Amino acid sequence: MEHNKIREDYHQIFKMIQKYCPPKEPEKSKLGGKATEYSNIHILTLGCLQTLYGLPAQGTFLKMVAEATQFKCPSQGYFSRRARGLNSFLVNVQPMIFTKFNANQSISTYIMDSMPIEKKRLIKKGQKLQKRSKATTGYVSSLKTHFYGFKLHSILTKSGIPVRIKLLPANIHDNTGFKTIKQHFHDCSIIADKGYVDYSHTQELLEKQNVKMKLPTKKNAKNHDRNLIQTPSENRSRAKIETYHSVLESMGAKQPRRRDDLGITNTVRLCVLTFTLVQLSKGRRGTKSSLSLKFGG
């Protein structure tokens, strides 16, 4: 991989994180009373860059970045520890980005869907860790298959920028997952699939929050408001979230290499953040970005 490409991507990601979602720097007391030469924004930039290039080997990646940027990179163990410490920041990063990016405009339409996040079952040595895990067995109706792990519930703008995400156990229904984040939406339309059909809940959203759930109709549906039926053009707009899911899968979010819940959560959130930064780098008018979503940069 060319050093110029790595250097350009590193600086662009660094600037975008600094602009949209600058993390708070760690206190000296949390670092053993010593100052650190690596800021949180530096650690987060390295994490996004590694996710973008799809390089699982941290040692090789850090060496490659050090050669390309002429910066002193942290050791592999130190980088892993600091990256895990950014969990509390990654939880709120999507609302933070969305607030800054859309400060001067109101969004009237969103797209919603979920994707499976698989977790490897642990045997013998990891049985205690398995019992503490919140992972459960779920079902993917489109593939007609069961899986063990979590579900990532995502809401995107029509331009493809993630607004809210929620990682929940796999056995929780899509509609129940949406209920955990519905309070953030008012006076808008949300396009979703049949997994979110609940006509009593749809009517409640319309009356209390003026949120129109645009859903496909089921064969046994009765007395459903025609204004809430999903049109063919709205159905086609769901291609944005399908692309989002396929990109997250190529980044390794669908089958994370981590075994613990915190590691899986951080991996998924980092993939979503990286995808968001690439989308933002393209500009509002669809200008071409130097960042690439292709494996290996």
C-alpha distances in Å from residue 288, one per residue of 85, 207, 232, 284: 33, 41, 29, 11
Domains in the chain with CATH codes: 3-85 (no CATH), 105-258 (3.30.420)
Could you give the count of Cα atoms lying within 13 Å of 21 in the half-sphere of its Cβ? 24
Backbone angles phi, psi at 107, to 5 degrees: -95, 130
**What is the DSSP-derived secondary structure letter of residue 290?**
S
**Taking Cα atoms as reference points, which of 77, 84, 50 lies closest to residue 66?**
50
Report how far residue 53's alpha carbon sits from residue 295's, in angstroms, rounded to the nearest whole number: 6
Contact 118, 203 (CB under 8 A): no
3-state SS of 237-265?
A: CCHHHHHHHHHHHHHCCCCCCCCCHHHHH
Contact 179, 166 (CB under 8 A): no
Query: pLDDT in tens for each of the 297 residues of the chain?
Result: 678 888 888 999 999 898 888 888 765 544 444 456 788 889 999 999 999 888 767 888 888 888 888 888 888 888 888 888 888 888 888 888 877 766 656 788 999 999 999 998 765 554 555 557 888 899 988 888 999 999 999 999 988 889 899 999 999 999 888 888 888 888 899 999 888 888 788 888 888 999 998 888 766 666 566 677 888 888 888 999 999 999 999 888 998 888 888 889 999 999 999 999 988 887 644 445 556 544 444
Contacts of 263 (CB under 8 A, 6+ apart): 84, 256
Contact 261, 131 (CB under 8 A): no
Contact 194, 213 (CB under 8 A): no
pLDDT for position 295: 41
**Taking Cα atoms as reference points, which of 173, 154, 151, 152 lies closest to residue 110?**
154
- How far is C-alpha 180 from the chain's CA centre? 16
Scanning the chain, the segments in alpha helix (DSSP H) are 3-20, 40-53, 58-69, 76-84, 87-91, 93-101, 127-132, 174-179, 199-209, 232-236, 239-251, 261-281
Contact 179, 142 (CB under 8 A): no
Q: State the pTM of this model.
A: 0.86
